[in-house]
């Protein structure tokens, strides 16, 4: 009987330690995402405000189109940041198990990794628009192209930074999930802790 109680105490304490560590890593993921959405939202608000002001005060030409495009990007980035911030806040209210935590971690990493690839397409599109605008002496294409290059470069830096921070957390989560395992079978109970 003492052995069973001792075993249950060990299992309970290891599960509690593992659960606390798991929730800490989930918290880091959510807080990192929230901080990122504040940065993206700030960038969006800055571009929205400066874009509207520049669009309203610039004389007709590539500068006006540059500000016009930045206004559109600012509104989009601000909207994405607000929706993501609200979604992350909601996810912070739930407790996830190991499998759910790993799935959520992989999903957020994948989002920023894919976005990083898309950012290269934005930059390439901006370069194309700018080059085309120069060859055709088209102010709209030049202004739009310059704005898309700038937005793509910022988003590439943002997405790479977010992926790097979240990937670091993902490695810790993977290490934690591989350290402890608890098995129950018809022949007994097992606890494995890998060092």
155 has a pLDDT exceeding 60: yes
183 has a pLDDT exceeding 90: no
Q: How confident is the model at residue 15 (pLDDT cuts 50, 70, 90)?
A: very low
Cβ-Cβ contacts under 8 Å for 151 (sequence gap 6 or more): 47, 69, 70, 73, 122, 126
How far is residue 55 from each of residues 51, 102, 111, measured CA to CA in Å? 6, 45, 32
> pLDDT tens digit string along 75-131?
999 999 999 999 999 999 999 999 999 999 999 999 999 999 999 999 999 999 999
Q: Model's pTM, two decimal places?
A: 0.81
Q: Which value, to the nearest 10 degrees, does the dihedral of the CA atoms of residues 167, 28, 180, 164 take? A: 10
Annotated domain spans of the chain? 32-174
Q: Where is average pLDDT lowest: 11-15, 51-55, 124-128, 152-156?
A: 11-15
pLDDT at res. 19: 62
């Amino acid at each position: 009987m003492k052995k069973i109680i001792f075993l249950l105490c060990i299992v309970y304490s290891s599960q509690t330690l593992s659960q606390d560590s798991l929730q800490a890593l989930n918290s880091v993921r959510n807080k990192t995402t929230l901080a990122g959405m504040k940065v993206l939202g700030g960038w969006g608000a800055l571009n929205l405000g400066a874009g509207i002001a520049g669009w309203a005060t610039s004389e007709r030409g590539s500068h006006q189109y540059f500000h016009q495009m930045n206004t559109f990007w600012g509104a989009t980035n601000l909207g994405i940041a607000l929706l993501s911030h609200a979604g992350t806040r909601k996810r912070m209210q739930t407790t996830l198990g190991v499998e759910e935590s790993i799935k959520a971690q992989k999903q957020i990493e994948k989002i920023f990794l894919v976005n990083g690839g898309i950012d290269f397409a934005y930059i390439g599109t901006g370069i194309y628009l700018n080059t085309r605008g120069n060859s055709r002496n088209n102010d709209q294409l030049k202004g739009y192209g310059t704005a898309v290059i700038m937005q793509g470069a910022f988003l590439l830096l943002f997405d790479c930074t977010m992926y790097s921070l979240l990937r670091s957390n993902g490695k810790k989560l993977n290490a934690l999930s591989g350290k402890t395992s608890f098995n129950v079978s018809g022949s007994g109970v097992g606890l494995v802790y890998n060092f």
